[in-house]
Amino acid sequence: MSVEARLKAQALGLGFDRAGIARLGPVESAPAFERWLAEGRHGEMDYLRRGAELRQDTTRPEPGMVSAVVVTLDYGGRSPGGPVARYARGDDYHRLMWDRLDALLAWVRADRGTAVRGRAYVDTGPILERDLARRAGLGWFGKNTMLIHPEAGSFFFIGALFLELPLTPDAPFTDEHCGTCTRCLDACPTQALVAPGVMDARRCISYLTIESRSPIPDALAPQVGEHVYGCDVCQDVCPWNVKFAAPPPAEGALAPKAWLSGTDAGALARELLAMDEATYRERFRGSAMTRAKLAGLQRNARAVLANREGTT
């Protein structure tokens, strides 16, 4: 068995759901990304602009690296919607994926009998993960901008292990299977999908409730509806998820917590507004929802309650 086959088998053995290999180099989607930045569609996410040059070529962040093992990990889309996006209902995925990628690097070193240099990325470095995953044969870019796998949909995390080890890459995913479907564009509550494959983050509910530190614009607040943290609408309506999305994990770090998986947005909003900083730190220890900070969650909670009052 080739080293590539053994490496991917090891990745699956560590708990990842899919694995592919890509060669590092110029990023195909970099021109579109540059246009997106130039149009200001990144909003307050200045870190994307600061790292734009590094994102143009995957060899730039870690000189000497030549290959990447790209992995995906399902978090489950076949569960009821609610005020919290599905990916954030369990523990923070970063640590889990880093640990598994570090274990994969340890295996590579043991297998090769030398200290192969490597670096794990889980959406925290200056790389365009979706582009790398497509290059590794793991899916295509949907009209909702998500990476879609033909047998899994899009409810998964993406990680990558960069290696200085030359590897034979998998064939890139070149097909596009959205066809004439526009369900995601039609369903977006804030019309954040301004064109097929183009997201204006400034209008996206996930951005407004997670990344942005500013007040939710009055013109968009009603459309935020009952979303306390994130939004899954453009994924929920995707036919590939309707057919293939996996159920949420029943146990382990990504298993949804009951109090974050309910459908009563009002109850969660009131609980958040009653929290002080100490309670927040205790309640959200190990959660990806700390990304929004207490101030952001309470901002979102106030918007949700205002929307509920406006519909009664």
3-state secondary structure 163-184: ECCCCCCCCCCCCCCCCCCCHH
Catalytic, 91? Answer: no
Report the C-alpha gap between 226 and 304 in whole angstroms.
5
Which of helix, strand or coil describes residue 87? helix
Report the C-alpha gap between 270 and 61 in whole angstroms.
43
Q: What token pair was written down for 6? A: 């053994």
Report the C-alpha gap between 246 and 76 in whole angstroms.
5
Catalytic one among 91, 102, 123, 236? 123
Report the C-alpha gap between 199 and 204 in whole angstroms.
8
Report the C-alpha gap between 133 and 72 in whole angstroms.
9
Q: Are strands 140-141 and 198-199 parallel, antiparallel or unpaired?
A: unpaired
Residues tagged active-site: 123
